[in-house]
Amino acid sequence: MKAFVVERYGDADTVQAREMPDPIVGDDDVLVRIHAASVNPLDLKIRSGDLKLILPYRAPFVLGNDLAGTVAAVGSRVTRFAVGDDVYARPDQNRIGAFAEFIAMRQDDVAAKPATLTMEEAASIPMVGLTAWQALVERANLRPGQKVLIHAGAGGVGTIAIQLAKHLGAHVATTASSAKTDLVKGLGADVVVDYTKQAFETVLRDYDVVLDTVGGDTLDKSLQVLKPGGIVISIAGPPDPAFARQAGANPLIRLAVAALSFRVRQRARRHRVRYSFLFMRASGDQLRQLTTLLDAGTIRPVVDRAFDFASTREALAHVEQGRAKAGKVVVRMTS
């Protein structure tokens, strides 16, 4: 099969088009012919080797973390899907490879594609949708009337998280440039802070939850807007000990991870709030819950641009160079 492969950790030149063996289909697997995949910042971090301490992929490997397509074959123990079903998924972190013609995944990580979405729209959802769900529903237990700040509201995670938070009954603030104010308000944001003109930590107070997608100084300043007992959930900050335990890291790596997040955890304690690092996991069950919201129109995908499969490297560069205006960048297969 044709695929885009990380030849070695490094810069953009390390991703090359190659012929790769077709995936092996296990007893609990579905083989999916991919119609579209989307580009995520995680792809760039994996390619550069930033995450090899916790995600030690062995090069060469196929890149890509979410997709939509059609079931081409099923394993002997598969009961949820049949050949010809349209599906979407974020494969397990140990079985990535969406920038390819085919992928094999556990049936538990796969869900039926939302009927109202195109393949390109569906491919834009799994990673950001699951991130928003696991942050706001699972981790924060966001409830009606609570206040949540979602950073980078026009980004891939932000566009979905705003809509999910409004569905959950929360008061939603977000950060975005003035050019994107109408977009994020249209998604449901109650308060928009133009980060190019205002310091969000000086205008927002007493929030219950912050979803941090930026890290760095933004993460540090986010601690200041929380009320006592509040929580900042970050997908861009340093991993914390809870993540290391969940990942089954060895004691040495657990110590290293604890050291990485020591400063922010200490600052959070001083503010009487909590810090939590989130690394999204695959879940077909949660995707099915998102499908209900997508087909009802409660959540709608935001796609910035679609590239042909042959232009996958250009799609990665579009994201890496910050040229995406809003939402997700998608790669679509062509005949």
DSSP string of 282-304, one letter each residue: --HHHHHHHHHHHHTTSS---EE
Residue 251, pLDDT score:
86
Residue 29, domain member (yes or no): yes
Q: What is the pTM of this model?
A: 0.96
Residues 6+ apart with CB under 8 A from 102: 1, 22, 23, 31, 32, 33, 34, 72
For residues 139 and 255, membership in a common domain is answered with yes
The tally of domains found in the chain comes to: 2
For residues 315 and 271, membership in a common domain is answered with no
Residue 290, domain member (yes or no): no
Tokens of 178: 């003035």
> What is the spatial distance between Cα 127 and Cα 156, in angstroms, rounded to a whole number?
9
Q: Phi/psi at 52 (nearest 5 deg)?
A: -70, -15
Give Cα separations from 53 to 65, 97, 224, 239 (angstroms). Answer: 18, 19, 30, 11
195 HSE (CA, 13 A, CB side)? 18
Question: Hey, how many other C-beta atoms are within 10 angstroms of the C-beta on 82?
Answer: 10
Residue 186, pLDDT score:
98
Residue 309, pLDDT score:
97
For residues 132 and 271, membership in a common domain is answered with yes
Residue 291, domain member (yes or no): no
Residue 7, domain member (yes or no): yes
Residue 288, domain member (yes or no): no
Which CATH number characterizes residue 28's domain? 3.90.180.10
Residue 133, pLDDT score:
98
Tokens of 29: 């697997």
Tokens of 272: 């009487």
Please, what is the end-to-end C-alpha distance for the chain in angstroms? 14
For residues 93 and 191, membership in a common domain is answered with no
Q: With the C-alpha atoms ordered 98, 102, 105, 108, is the resulting torsion angle positive or negative?
A: positive
For residues 214 and 139, membership in a common domain is answered with yes
For residues 154 and 269, membership in a common domain is answered with yes
Residue 68, domain member (yes or no): yes
Residue 252, pLDDT score:
84
Q: Hey, what amino acid is at 35? A: H
Residue whose pair of structure tokens reads 């603030």 in the numeric block: 173
> What is the spatial distance between Cα 69 and Cα 92, in angstroms, rounded to a whole number?
16
In the listed set 239, 261, 277, which residue is the last one of a domain according to the structure?
A: 277
User: Which DSSP helix (H) or strand (E) runs through 89?
Assistant: strand 86-89
Q: Enter the DSSP assignment of 323.
A: -
Domain extent, residue 7, equals 2-125+301-332
Residue 232, domain member (yes or no): yes
- Angle between helix axes 312-320 and 41-48 (nearest 10 degrees) is 100
Q: Hey, what amino acid is at 214? A: V
For residues 77 and 141, membership in a common domain is answered with no
- Along the 335 residues of the chain, how does pLDDT read in single tens digits? 999 999 999 999 999 999 999 999 999 999 999 999 999 999 999 999 988 877 889 999 999 999 999 999 999 999 999 999 999 999 999 999 999 999 999 999 999 999 999 999 999 999 999 999 999 999 999 999 999 999 999 999 999 999 999 999 999 999 999 999 999 999 999 999 999 999 999 999 999 999 999 999 999 999 999 999 999 999 999 998 888 888 777 888 888 888 989 999 999 999 999 999 999 999 999 999 999 999 999 999 999 999 999 999 999 999 999 999 999 999 999 75
Residue 295, domain member (yes or no): no
Q: Hey, what amino acid is at 233? A: I
Residues 6+ apart with CB under 8 A from 56: none
For residues 112 and 150, membership in a common domain is answered with no
Give Cα separations from 186 to 126, 162, 181, 255 (angstroms). Answer: 22, 10, 8, 44
Question: Hey, how many other C-beta atoms are within 10 angstroms of the C-beta on 3?
Answer: 26
For residues 95 and 20, membership in a common domain is answered with yes
> What is the spatial distance between Cα 92 and Cα 138, in angstroms, rounded to a whole number?
18
For residues 97 and 236, membership in a common domain is answered with no
For residues 18 and 99, membership in a common domain is answered with yes
**Integer-rounded Cα radius of gyration of the chain:** 19
**Count, residues in the chain:** 335
For residues 49 and 73, membership in a common domain is answered with yes
Which CATH number characterizes residue 147's domain? 3.40.50.720
